[in-house]
Structure 1
Amino acid sequence: MPQLDTSTWFTTVLATSITLFVLMQLKISLHNFPQMPTIKLTRYTKTNNPWEMKWTKIYSPLSLPQQ
């Protein structure tokens, strides 16, 4: 049964890693990124809800008087 020759594995793994690194760098360098990001101002508008105009009290069933 022949033995597995592992003498070229280091060279193969190293070459593959370098190739993937270069390809990823080229892919990233082709993107156009904004130079100065701007802050988007949002305006808060308050809505008037009908339940906010009057004071209401919510009774829990356990606090009601016994009948």
Structure 2
Amino acid sequence: MPQLNPAPWFAMLVFTWLVFLTIIPPKVSAHTFPNEPTMQSTEKPKTQPWNWPWH
């Protein structure tokens, strides 16, 4: 049974994890957002009541 021989798939598993752990994290950590978030004020805006004439 060839699936019991770990030689073909174990090397691919190790190589794949080496790629994931060496190439991808720097690319993800170097990502910058196009718009930096701004802090919103804690004051609530004053609202004006509607004075519509009801018919």
Structure having the higher Rg: 1
User: More helix by proportion, 1 or 2?
Assistant: 2
